[in-house]
Amino acid sequence: MNRLAPWALVIASMSCDGIVGSPPDPDRDPCRGGTCGCTAATEAAACGAHQYCDASVASGRCACVAGYAHSGDGCAWAGALQDPGLAAGAWTAVGGAVLDPTATGGVDPGEARFSPDALCALARIEQTVDMPAFAAAEPLVLELAYKDERYYRPLPPPAIDVDQVPMGVSFGGGWSPLPFFPDPGFHELRICVPEGGYAPRGTAGPGAPVTFAIGPYQQPEACPSSLIDNFAVDHAALVPARPGECGTRPGEGVNWDAEGTGGWTFDVTGSSSGDFAEGLGVGGSRAARLRLAHRCDRAEMTATIDVPRVDNPVLELFVGVGARGNATISFAELFMTSVFEARSAAAQTRTLRMCLPPSLRGQTMSLAFRVDGGGGSCDDAMNLQMFVDDLHVVDEPACATSERFTSPGFEQGSPPWGAFGLVSEFGSSGVTVRSAPGEAHGGTHYLQLESYGRCSSAGYILRPTVPASTGGGPALRLFAKVGSNPDAVTTLATLGSEPQILAEGVGYQRYTVCLDPRYAGRPQPVYLRHGGGSGACNDLDYVQQDAQIDDLEVTADPACPAQ
């Protein structure tokens, strides 16, 4: 792992050079604005908006909190992040990102570019600035311009050559996946700053340093030889939100209850539609609604979840479909789930609760809701509808979120089953959480990959959050039990590593897979695959095969590389 040393050194040598404080306060008159003298106890009454009591001055003096500066009689937002155009050298490049101040850019000159090697090394740009606590600030927006074009080359059918990864941003630790744009140009995005972008709740005084980082959310799929050659950041600024643009408290995005008008983006084609409809939401209130007119129309709506910095973040939402409807939810295209198990002749509703991974604490993520038209002729009139209400995140101890996992024993039984994985099923196979008596390694539930025929494959991507290395490299441990079968094979691997083949017919065994320390603070994909046997593709004489997984643990292992 010698090739990792350069960026490790960059981190170690960053010191405080990257920390930019508030501009010097030019106001030396303690009685300006009629406020004369204050203490920490009288701060709330004595000082105005975006101010704190600076007790280092005799008799105390109200001063602007971090990021704000005197303007007229009060304190106004001054920007915090320096060099929004990436042309003035205020950002630190880590892991091979290249700052080019003379590049053309999109919004303004200057870019940070990421080569294929830099993407595989999880390169990023970052800047640490003093930020106020949310309570002393106002809703702020990260104004961002970037491109994350997919590499796509059609090969002789049916093959294609694809490599892709979404841009990501870290607000004070943790990582948020950003929208993926398949075309070559820069895209401008406004992201309401989630709680992680502010000083922690209860921070006294002017604020606290917060690190903002921007770079690939994870390694591209083709690493270590990524094909992506058009990945760059052009602009990053912190600006006040427009009226009604952002939510007023952490955990609730704007118009989370669909009683207002903004917050949701509807993307529909043909005569399909998206709107806010009375009577379909919680307790007969309003809900955001999609209607799919014809099978091949697009009917999609997106909203953003704003995850508060709580121990066990759980996403709650109320969702329903009309008769014969089914619907899917996509989490930044990294994880997708079907809302109802089967289409029903009657309308269906449910309250969905999904434990979120610890790396999303204080971060943000977009959700896309889609009405699924199913297979058939594009001319078919469908008239399917889906509606969503009360989209918010709260603290739920039942999620048993650790620093590394949500519900590592799969005891929280609804998708995405704690480990926040991605299911892939091909042919006659399935991935699910089951609770048959005596079958779990611990507790009552376990993950099961199942094959019901040859030529099938069941896959699951675990996403453990990687810890900073302490005594040995980070490693994932799990217990797996695989049935004896002459054809089927079950493997465990990380991107680019040699897959471990799990032993068959020997009961639960413990397996260890080394994690990549460069993922510190964010989830690394770990691939579980169960192939349903080779040979002629028929299911007639195939006896169902299962692989059971339980009790995940992230730990430090001396046999794994620490950096």
Contacts with Ca ion by CB under 5 A: the residue count is 20
Return the bridge partners of 545, or none.
451
Element (H, E) at 282: none
**Torsion angles phi and psi, residue 253, rounded to 5:** -70, 175
Q: Which residue's structure tokens are 């050559």? A: 161
Do β-strands 313-321 and 381-395 pair in parallel, antiparallel, or remain unpaired?
Answer: antiparallel
Give the nearer residue to Ca ion in terms of CB position, either 368 or 419.
Answer: 419
Binder among 120, 355, 440, 554 for Ca ion (CB under 5 A):
440
Q: Considering the rule CB under 5 A, would residue 409 count as an interface residue with Ca ion? A: yes
Q: Which stretch binds Ca ion (CB under 5 A): 198-206, 255-263, 288-296, 474-482?
A: 255-263
Kindly list the distances between the CA atom of residue 110 and the CA atoms of 101, 119, 196, in Å, as whole numbers in the listed order. Answer: 4, 19, 27
Long-range pairs, 376-383, Cβ under 8 A, ≥24: 376/295, 377/295, 378/294, 378/295, 378/296, 379/294, 379/295, 380/294, 380/295, 381/293, 381/294, 382/292, 382/293, 382/294, 382/295, 383/291, 383/292, 383/293, 383/322
- Report, in Å, the least distance between residue 24 CB and Ca ion: 27
Q: Which stretch binds Ca ion (CB under 5 A): 33-41, 105-113, 194-202, 523-531?
A: 105-113
Q: Considering the rule CB under 5 A, would residue 550 count as an interface residue with Ca ion? A: yes
Give the nearer residue to Ca ion in terms of CB position, either 151 or 256.
Answer: 256
Return the bridge partners of 240, or none.
140
Kindly list the distances between the CA atom of residue 279 and the CA atoms of 96, 326, 397, 435, in Å, as whole numbers in the listed order. Answer: 53, 20, 32, 37
Q: Considering the rule CB under 5 A, would residue 257 count as an interface residue with Ca ion? A: yes
Binder among 154, 279, 443, 535 for Ca ion (CB under 5 A):
443
Kindly list the distances between the CA atom of residue 511 and the CA atoms of 470, 492, 507, 550, in Å, as whole numbers in the listed order. Answer: 21, 9, 12, 11
Mark residues 293-332: x for contact with Ca ion by CB under 5 A, - for none.
----------------------------------------
- Report, in Å, the least distance between residue 107 CB and Ca ion: 6
The C-alpha atoms of residue 222 and residue 207 are separated, in whole angstroms, by: 41
Binder among 389, 450, 516, 557 for Ca ion (CB under 5 A):
389
Return the bridge partners of 369, or none.
301, 329
271-290 residues near Ca ion, rule: CB under 5 A = 281, 285-286
Q: Considering the rule CB under 5 A, would residue 85 count as an interface residue with Ca ion? A: yes
Q: Which stretch binds Ca ion (CB under 5 A): 13-21, 211-219, 408-416, 537-545?
A: 408-416
Binder among 105, 207, 415, 464 for Ca ion (CB under 5 A):
105
Binder among 38, 165, 258, 280 for Ca ion (CB under 5 A):
258
- Report, in Å, the least distance between residue 306 CB and Ca ion: 17
Binding residues for Ca ion, per CB under 5 A?
85-86, 105, 108, 110, 234-235, 257-258, 281, 285-286, 389, 409-410, 440, 442-443, 445, 550
